[in-house]
Structure 1
Amino acid sequence: MASVNAPRGMRDFLPADKARRERVLAVIRDRYRAHGFDEIETPVVEEYARLHAGIGGDNEKLAFNILRRGLDAETIHAAADDPAALTDLGLRYDLTVPLARFYATNRAALPTVFRSIQIAPVWRAERPQKGRYRQFMQCDIDIIGDASARAEAELIAASLDTLDALSLEGATVRINDRRALDAMLDVFGFAPDERPGVLITIDKLDKIGPSGVTAELRERDATATAVDAFDAFLNRPQTREFLPYGEAQIRKALPEGVADEVVAHLVGIGESVASARPGGHVPLQFDPFLVRGMGYYTGTIFELAHPSVSYSLGGGGRYDGMIGRFLGQDVPAVGFSIGFERIVDLVSLQDPDAAPAVVLVHDRDVPVAELLALKAQLVAEGSRVRLEQRTKNLKALLERATADGYTAFATVRAGADRDDLELKSLSV
């Protein structure tokens, strides 16, 4: 007998779960729009060549691809080792690659600096496990056409404001710059061709510690003198004075040799974000070893942290080179994505503007015309109305209605009109 479960890594949502998710999405959309971003929509599929152009990092390996139409068994067998010969489309694995294509397609109709919202599902052929799904929602804001620190500051301010609106106050943003990382690796003496692998190892610093990182770098046969220099930097003597986010903190965390313009860019972001936060607080933390795995990042990178959880709640970065792959000329771009699937489990929102939700419990003999007339009157008054035929277990019926968000009920008998209805509250 065939399984009736949803495909592995994908989920059904019952009405109460769906309503809760939509309430959270409504808050996110509202905050994003309040900060001047405009929502767009792109197709769920993109061309195979675009999704596998070397700009999606490891996500390209997780893409769900769509077979070309009209292939016969002989053709499929002959090209079994060449996915590009068998597929012409694929499900999007993120919203950034589609946005870059969207901008290249519609640039003439968009403002010079375009602030985009994308809230939509994406698909990855992940190994399903707790908290990791094959279909999940992403909530992205991006700014295209602005190379200044203002763009990053706007994204960070909007994202923090959104978490505040979801009652997740106290969030901070870990921030770094890929140019600082490259400069640091150059100072230590790592060769350019070994740096991608070195960054993969450095990204594990929080998990395996400094000794684990240097040990793995030696196992990778990274340049020995560079590993020694990096190890010495990790274990250098440091004073313990507190330094708030700013130039002094950033320079203390970096080796000599990082360009002044990179430091100034990071400092400028902090100053701008502080001006938008209550009391001028800077909710940023410079992390010189923040890597983020996407290969298309070219500058600032950041991750969203909250004291209630040990994992990040979102992140993003600057990807100035991606749009040029489609347009033929580079366009500055930076984006921030909130991890909706992680956030939604932390948020409990009531809908203050929800319409009255009423269940009309009727006897079997009440004519349909009377029921629909009563329902139409209540709907016209602004209520949400469900019709339910009385059952022997009325308590179970009302408990199910309460779980679905209904707040009141009334019993209906044949011949009843609107004035006869006695609305009773459903306890939550």
Structure 2
Amino acid sequence: MATVNPPRGMRDILPADKARRERVLSVIRERYLAHGFDEIETPVVEEYSRLHAGIGGDNEKLAYNVLRRGLDADAIRNAADDPAALSDLGLRYDLTVPLARFYASNRGQLPAVFRSIQIGAVWRAERPQKGRYRQFVQCDIDIMGDDSSRAEAELMVASLDAVDALGLEGATVRINDRRVLDWMLDSFGFAAEERPGVLITIDKLDKIGPDGVAAELRERGAAASAVDAFEAFLRRPQTMEYNPFGERQIRKALPENAPVEIVAHLVGIGEAVAAGRAQSDIPLVFDPFLVRGMGYYTGTIFELAHPSVDYSLGGGGRYDGMIGRFLGQQVPAVGFSLGFERLVDLVADGADAAAQAIVLIHDADVPVAELLAHKTALIGTGARARLERRTKNLKALLERASAEGYTGFATVTAGVTELEVKPLS
């Protein structure tokens, strides 16, 4: 007999949880719309070749593929070692690759600078664990057609505004630039062919520390002189002075002679975000070892941090080269994705229901016409209303209604025209 449980790594969402999720989504969507972004929708499946074009990093290995229609047993056996011959479609593993295809397909109907909202489920064949699912929701905003630092600043201001509106004030953004990483690795002496593996190891710095990073780089067979230079840089003497985000903070975190143009780009983002946030402290922190694993990032990269947790709540970056693969000409693009599943767990409980949500408790002898008349009258006032037949355990019924977001109840008896609404708590 088939199990009644959902597929491993996926979940059923109960009514109270669904209401909470929709409330959080509505706040995020409202703030993004307020900042001038427009919502779009793309299919949940994309062509196999697009999802496996070498731009999705390790996520390409986690894609769910759709078997081609019409394959018989012999065809499947003959193509067993060729996934591209077995599958022509796949479930999207993020929203960025579909967005790039969407823009290339619909560019003639879009403005020169297009600001998009995309909210939807994505699928990855992850190893399920706490907080990591195989189906989860992403909330993305992206700007295409703007290669200036204004685009990054707009994304950060809008995302921080959404997080503030959810009651999670105090968030900051860790920021770096892939071009800075390339320059640093070059200055330490890492060869170009080594860098993908080196970046994977550097990305573990927060978890395994300088000793662990140096040891793993040596195990990978990275150039010894480059590892020595990198390790010496990590262990260099540093003063404990505080520097707010700006040129001084950035240059103190990098080797000498960092590229002027890239530093100026990052400083410009900070100044624009500060102006957009209308506060004296810039909510940005430069992190020269922020990597972000997606293979399509070409410039600025960033992650959303909050002091209540030790993991990121979202992130993104610039991916100027992706759309060109579909369109045949380069289009600058940058995006920010909020980690919806993590945000939902942090947001405080709120009024997930209407201002009033009333349960109408009735006996079996109350005419249906009267029940529906009472219910319709309540709905007409802007309340939410539900009919519940009286049970022997009335207390349990009311407790369940309260847990589902209802605020009051009324007892309905036959022939009574006026209802007395009592609070549930």
Normalised to the residue count of structure 2, the TM-score between the two structures is 0.98
- Residue 419 (structure 2) aligned to one of 404, 418, 421: 421
Alpha-carbon distance, 1:373 to partner? 2.1
Distance in 2 separating the partners of 1:280 and 1:40: 35
2:402 aligned counterpart, secondary structure: helix
Alignment partner, residue 289 of structure 2: 289
Distance in 2 separating the partners of 1:68 and 1:343: 37
Alignment partner, residue 386 of structure 1: 386
Distance in 2 separating the partners of 1:10 and 1:168: 27
Alpha-carbon distance, 1:348 to partner? 1.6
Alignment partner, residue 51 of structure 1: 51
Alignment of 1:200 onto 2:188: no
Alpha-carbon distance, 1:129 to partner? 0.5
Aligned residues: 425
2:348 aligned counterpart, secondary structure: coil
Amino acid corresponding to residue 300 of structure 1 in structure 2:
T
Distance in 2 separating the partners of 1:219 and 1:353: 56
Distance in 2 separating the partners of 1:352 and 1:337: 24
Amino acid corresponding to residue 271 of structure 1 in structure 2:
E
Alpha-carbon distance, 1:347 to partner? 0.4
CA contact (8 A) 1:63 1:123 kept: yes
Alignment of 1:90 onto 2:84: no
Alignment partner, residue 118 of structure 2: 118
2:24 aligned counterpart, secondary structure: helix
Alignment of 1:251 onto 2:251: yes
Identity of aligned residues (%): 78
Q: Cα distance 1:186–1:260, how it changes in 2: closer, same or farther (>3 A)?
A: same
Alignment partner, residue 27 of structure 1: 27
CA contact (8 A) 2:20 2:352 kept: no
Alpha-carbon distance, 1:349 to partner? 4.1
Q: Cα distance 1:349–1:34, how it changes in 2: closer, same or farther (>3 A)?
A: farther
Segments of 5+ residues of structure 2 without an aligned counterpart are none
Distance in 2 separating the partners of 1:237 and 1:422: 73
Amino acid corresponding to residue 301 of structure 1 in structure 2:
I
Alpha-carbon distance, 1:257 to partner? 3.9
Alpha-carbon distance, 1:69 to partner? 1.0
Alpha-carbon distance, 1:350 to partner? 2.0
Distance in 1 separating the partners of 2:393 and 2:55: 58
Q: Cα distance 1:264–1:20, how it changes in 2: closer, same or farther (>3 A)?
A: same
CA contact (8 A) 2:117 2:142 kept: yes
Distance in 2 separating the partners of 1:232 and 1:36: 46
Alpha-carbon distance, 1:380 to partner? 2.0
Alignment of 1:398 onto 2:413: no
CA contact (8 A) 1:366 1:414 kept: yes
Amino acid corresponding to residue 424 of structure 2 in structure 1:
L
Between 1:346-355 and 1:93-102, the stretch displaced more is 346-355
Alignment partner, residue 143 of structure 1: 143
1:276 aligned counterpart, secondary structure: helix
Q: Cα distance 1:353–1:373, how it changes in 2: closer, same or farther (>3 A)?
A: closer
CA contact (8 A) 1:184 1:257 kept: no
Amino acid corresponding to residue 141 of structure 2 in structure 1:
I
Map residues 274-353 of structure 1 onto 2, 5 A cutoff.
274-351=274-351
Normalised to the residue count of structure 1, the TM-score between the two structures is 0.97
Q: Cα distance 1:353–1:67, how it changes in 2: closer, same or farther (>3 A)?
A: closer
Amino acid corresponding to residue 422 of structure 2 in structure 1:
K
Distance in 2 separating the partners of 1:60 and 1:76: 21
Distance in 2 separating the partners of 1:57 and 1:424: 56
CA contact (8 A) 1:183 1:257 kept: no
Alignment partner, residue 225 of structure 1: 225
**Residues 202-231 of structure 1: per-residue CA shift (max 9 Å, x gap):** 111111111111111111111111111111
Distance in 2 separating the partners of 1:277 and 1:238: 31
**Residues 279-301 of structure 1: per-residue CA shift (max 9 Å, x gap):** 32101110111101011000000
Alpha-carbon distance, 1:259 to partner? 1.6
1:262 aligned counterpart, secondary structure: helix
Amino acid corresponding to residue 283 of structure 1 in structure 2:
P
CA contact (8 A) 2:354 2:383 kept: no
Amino acid corresponding to residue 97 of structure 1 in structure 2:
V
Alpha-carbon distance, 1:377 to partner? 2.0
Amino acid corresponding to residue 38 of structure 2 in structure 1:
D
Distance in 2 separating the partners of 1:191 and 1:356: 65
Amino acid corresponding to residue 202 of structure 2 in structure 1:
I
Segments of 5+ residues of structure 1 without an aligned counterpart are none
Distance in 2 separating the partners of 1:148 and 1:29: 25
CA contact (8 A) 1:409 1:424 kept: yes
Distance in 1 separating the partners of 2:274 and 2:353: 32
Amino acid corresponding to residue 211 of structure 1 in structure 2:
D
Distance in 2 separating the partners of 1:397 and 1:261: 65
C-alpha RMSD over aligned residues: 1.2
Distance in 1 separating the partners of 2:192 and 2:393: 72
Between 1:293-302 and 1:226-235, the stretch displaced more is 226-235
Amino acid corresponding to residue 351 of structure 1 in structure 2:
A
Distance in 2 separating the partners of 1:374 and 1:285: 57
